[in-house]
Amino acid sequence: MKKTFILLCLSVFLLFSTTACGSSTTVGLDDSESEVLALIGDDVQVVEESEWANIVPELAAHIGEFDGQVFQLEGVLRRDGDQPYVYRTLVNGDSKTECALPLRYLQKEIEEGAFVRVTGAVNAGELNGETVNYLEVIAIEVLSSGGASELPWSGSVHNH
């Protein structure tokens, strides 16, 4: 039931955001984003900076396992062509690994390299011929003071 409610909220948000006049160039939360976040309430799993290096690689590695679950995380926005991602660089000694989640339905024009807080539902989809987990954007805002783009990490990314 919760998953259905969350998906309904996401559908309503996407309907409103795609029918709005013009594209938004603001970097704060707009009214529709705030309303959807209020409807979702406590069903958002907030990924703290101290948990990022453990949780986000799991989201990326376990395709389909987190479908419909809503996560909020902070990271750096980058683009590969037209495909936006939120990422952080995980550092283990001299080794650095970029850990990124592709974003879907990003309606705002946000400068690459901006530090953002993004809330979205995880769902599997195709990207360049591979099945991946996307973070389907419900709300995104640019933070005036960002966290660390690099995080200490002692793990390894794995696929199951």
pLDDT digits (tens, 9 = 90+) for 45-80: 999 988 988 899 999 999 999 999 999 999 999 999
- Please compute, for residue 139, the number of CA atoms within 13 A of its CA located in the half-sphere on the CB side: 23
Q: Pairing mode, if any, of strands 44-46 and 70-80?
A: parallel
What's the CATH code, domain 2-152? 2.40.50.140
- How much is the pLDDT for 40? 80
Least confident of 31-45, 110-124, 125-139: 31-45
| Portion of the chain with pLDDT greater than 90, in percent | 51
Number of other CB atoms surrounding residue 153 within 10 Å = 21
42 or 25: whose pLDDT is higher?
42
CA–chain centroid gap for 90, Å, is 17
Confidence label for 13 from pLDDT (cuts 50, 70 and 90): very low
- Region 87-94 average pLDDT: 91
Nearest to 133 by CA among 124, 143, 144, 142: 124
In the chain, where the domains are located: 2-152
| Portion of the chain with pLDDT greater than 70, in percent | 80
12 or 118: whose pLDDT is higher?
118
Confidence label for 28 from pLDDT (cuts 50, 70 and 90): confident
Least confident of 8-12, 36-40, 129-133, 152-156: 8-12
Give the three-state DSSP class for 90. Answer: strand
